Structure 1
Amino acid sequence: MTETRAEIRLPTQELRDDIPFFTRTLGMRMDMIYPADNPRIAVFSGHGLRLRIEKDAPEPPGTIRILSDAPDIFANGKRRLTAPNGTRIEIEELDPPLVLPQTIHSFVVRKLADGAPWIVGRAGMQYRDLIPDRLGGSIIASHIRIPDAGPVPDMVHYHKVGFQLIFCVSGWVDVLYEDQGGLRRIHAGDCFIQPPEIRHRVMEASENLQVIEIGVPAEHVTEVDHDMKLPSPHLRPEREWQGQKFVHNFGNDAPWAPHRLTGFIARDTTIAENTKNVAGVWVTKPDESAPQWATHDADILFTYVMSGTVTLEGAGREPHVLEQGDAFVIPPGMKTRLSAASRNLELLEVALPGDFITKETP
């Protein structure tokens, strides 16, 4: 049986000055030192790291980040240190709390015809940004596609988020979720919400898979879980992750009801109920009544055009004719109207929070 170790080499000019810093201040263990008569090299280990401090090594001293669940105690509470050899030490929280930035409201219209670039992201998936300014970092909305059918090179992972939606607009995708049984497949019109930190793995996708992914906040951490194996042995539909339940909503099964806006009907994905109103998600389409001007008081109201055409009118603004692939954000208090909707129009509407007030005016 073979054994392999990895070391990071750092330079020093005087090894005797570094030994007490790395052992006493940083709490590492010295595993090796040589030659005995005039030491030039010492090896230290600790905190998941193995360091080789070598006199006159050619590398720059670099930076070491140490993550601790008690950063105010570690190294006497100092968050920034410099070792005698010049290496910078940054001490941070091991599991920092999720920070939800305050929303910077803006009116956003993003058109597919504008030619925003597709960026290759995690697991080879292609991403198009639907809210370029991210509303001050409060949300990211991505149009994601996988052009080719087949297995997806994914790993079991989870996201440190406040809210996350996956809504399928084309094709299908198979995903495994923690405590949700075997493979879960969504087709066009179906959706998942992935509660905060639920473990999951994307397994396979159809040709031309396209989904809309909403994440709150815009910048959030994705961590790989090397220990969990999926599918997990349990089916626990009532389990909550930070107060939210997993939702697998089937579009074909949902009833239609009057929408908050005159001129439209909607089907509810049950996401508001299962996130305790952290967010709400609806699919809307026109009915026979005339649309009205309206305002809302939601913090974030995002809409994506899944099919058809519609005109977005804003008080004091030029109207926008929108079609499939376009998206928009209406800030709270802005007076707007959706008019000239085609009969095949379908909109995906996402609101945070899920419970908010709409006021219509003549």
Structure 2
Amino acid sequence: MTDPQPATPLRVTISCADLDASLACYTDELGFRLDMIMPADAPRMAELSGYGLSLGLRRVEHAAHPDDAEGGAETIPAERDAVASTDWIVGRAGMQYRDLIPGRWDGRVIASHIRIPEGGPVPDYVHYHRVGFQMIFCRRGWVRVVYEDQGPPFVMQAGDCVLQPPTIRHRVLEASPGLEVVEVGCPAEHETWRDHALTLPTSERRPQRLFGGQRFVRAVATEAHWQAASASHCLYRDTGIAEATDGVADVRVLRANSEQACSAPAWLPEGGARFVFVLRGRLRIHGVDGALRELSADGACLLVGTDASKFEAVDADTEWLDVCLSPQALQS
């Protein structure tokens, strides 16, 4: 499409039953360009432009089916609705998503288990998210990515983690067969905008640049050191995300220092929430209300306030991803 865009394009909104099919028709056949899509895990709206038009596509909503509660995370109180779904659905750029917090705590936080079964080049594009907080943890396999002002493309291996600060431009380039990542973001629904003008990698590398008050972080698992969390019988490796976000969020990988219950580490801010994803082994979470929840590998739950008093590693090799979100993150 070569015709210039007018300063004030005519606005048209169209409802459709199948957003993917409609997108393919307007972009591949009619020559419109995709500008925005949301939400990434199950798109229901998109913004396109071309021929003097600003075109909004809106998927017709259908009645939601009950969440499948088999496998995944353990149930916690209904207001948190944190039973991980067992369903995989196709989202943005053909990636498959499993919802780890279907209720999303009234839209405050989303956690997605994302996979690319076949691997190879990923049909992604340079884009950014209008989001308050977002991190990616590589669960299995590897993925090659590139970020604005962060140098050439690099490969994330299992155990690696990145902080994607608000509006940083980035692109997923290639993945191993069976790639899996865990993504946590606030708010639960946010816009993904395509940047048609920027080419990555950018010519200048600026690792200290701030995006929305946050700095890009790449935490490499093989370079990390395990530390003891005082008086909690836990070991942890830090990602540097707390410092880079000025306390908006704290992301660490934890393991029990011994086969006994350990107190919940103290870095959860008052009024915040804790997302837990088990990487290996089995983890028991003892609630202050006496409730006992047991999660196995790939199980997840959202803990709010003082829901958890003790973590117990059932197996000697138990490890879990611990994402603590401040009230500031949850209000973004």
1:48 matched to 2:9: yes
Partner of 1:291: 261
1:354–1:267: structure 2 CA closer, same or farther, 3 Å change rule? farther
**Native 8 Å contact 1:281 1:348 kept in 2:** yes
Partner of 2:220: 250
Alpha-carbon distance in structure 2 between the residues aligned to 1:337 and 1:3: 61
Alpha-carbon distance in structure 2 between the residues aligned to 1:260 and 1:108: 32
Mapping for residues 149-164 of structure 1, pairs under 5 Å: 149-164=119-134
Partner of 1:238: 208
**Native 8 Å contact 1:263 1:289 kept in 2:** no
**Native 8 Å contact 1:286 1:341 kept in 2:** no
Alpha-carbon distance in structure 2 between the residues aligned to 1:258 and 1:265: 5
Q: Which amino acid aligns with 2:282?
A: T
1:166–1:275: structure 2 CA closer, same or farther, 3 Å change rule? same
Local SS of the residue matching 2:200:
coil
- Aligned residue among 105, 109, 130 for 1:139: 109
Q: Which amino acid aligns with 1:325?
A: D
- Aligned residue among 81, 88, 101 for 1:118: 88
1:260–1:185: structure 2 CA closer, same or farther, 3 Å change rule? farther
Alpha-carbon distance in structure 1 between the residues aligned to 2:304 and 2:230: 16
Shift of 1:3: 7.6
Shift of 1:316: 3.7
1:307 matched to 2:280: yes
**Native 8 Å contact 2:82 2:104 kept in 1:** no
Alpha-carbon distance in structure 2 between the residues aligned to 1:255 and 1:50: 54
1:138–1:3: structure 2 CA closer, same or farther, 3 Å change rule? closer
Alpha-carbon distance in structure 1 between the residues aligned to 2:91 and 2:11: 31
Shift of 1:129: 0.7
Alpha-carbon distance in structure 1 between the residues aligned to 2:2 and 2:279: 54
1:323 matched to 2:296: yes
Mapping for residues 21-60 of structure 1, pairs under 5 Å: 47-49=8-10
Q: Which amino acid aligns with 1:255?
A: H
**Native 8 Å contact 2:256 2:262 kept in 1:** no
**Native 8 Å contact 2:97 2:112 kept in 1:** yes
Shift of 1:149: 1.5
Shift of 1:333: 2.5
Q: Which amino acid aligns with 2:324?
A: A
Partner of 1:345: 318
Q: Which amino acid aligns with 2:115?
A: R
Local SS of the residue matching 1:192:
strand
TM-score, normalised on structure 2?
A: 0.72
Alpha-carbon distance in structure 1 between the residues aligned to 2:279 and 2:263: 22
Alpha-carbon distance in structure 2 between the residues aligned to 1:50 and 1:127: 31
Local SS of the residue matching 1:132:
coil
Unaligned runs of 5+ in 2: 13-76
Alpha-carbon distance in structure 1 between the residues aligned to 2:195 and 2:2: 24
Alpha-carbon distance in structure 1 between the residues aligned to 2:153 and 2:2: 37
Shift of 1:338: 1.7
Q: CA RMSD in A?
A: 2.8
**Native 8 Å contact 2:253 2:319 kept in 1:** yes
Partner of 1:195: 165
Bigger relative contact order, structure 1 or 2, given CA contacts below 8 A and separation 6+? Answer: 2
Alpha-carbon distance in structure 1 between the residues aligned to 2:11 and 2:293: 58
Alpha-carbon distance in structure 1 between the residues aligned to 2:109 and 2:216: 20
**Native 8 Å contact 1:281 1:354 kept in 2:** no
Alpha-carbon distance in structure 2 between the residues aligned to 1:5 and 1:187: 42
Partner of 1:219: 189
Local SS of the residue matching 1:344:
coil
Identity %: 43
Mapping for residues 273-288 of structure 1, pairs under 5 Å: 273-288=243-258
Choose 1 or 2 for highest CA Rg: 1
Q: Which amino acid aligns with 1:158?
A: Y
Partner of 2:29: none
Q: Deviations over 1:142-167 (max 9, x none)?
A: 00000011000001000001111010
Alpha-carbon distance in structure 2 between the residues aligned to 1:270 and 1:239: 15
**Native 8 Å contact 1:313 1:320 kept in 2:** yes
TM-score, normalised on structure 1?
A: 0.67
